Structure 1
């Protein structure tokens, strides 16, 4: 994966948990959102924290999670962490 500046990133954690994602977004890491059928969104700063806040209730660790009404077949979000040096990127995907 490459960031918007063309820097190649390396997969650091293919199965990031809620605690890791919360820490990284609080510490200022970028968030990439991959919503099923939508364009990739690369978010920074407050927008990255807001992206996690909007999706955390649909994260894969929520007990008895069900797709929202009117969205049959939708999957819960999963997290990955990618890195370049000390920089960490959170990827949230429901594909």
Structure 2
């Protein structure tokens, strides 16, 4: 993919393969959370954007990423889907 950082390609390709396997599965309950490309310590704002298969932004704080995980666990909204989060 043009412009995709080479140092992240192998990991992204692996997750793409896993996502394809989930989507093809039957009888498996799954949800996949795709963070923004950069996760780093920062401020917990409790606010983040949610999307589906496309990246929403360049970064998310580790604190808001954790909030997104807990929010999905407490109120599942993406069963059988991949979703993305970013600040």
TM-score by length of 1: 0.30
Higher helix share: 2
Higher strand share: 1
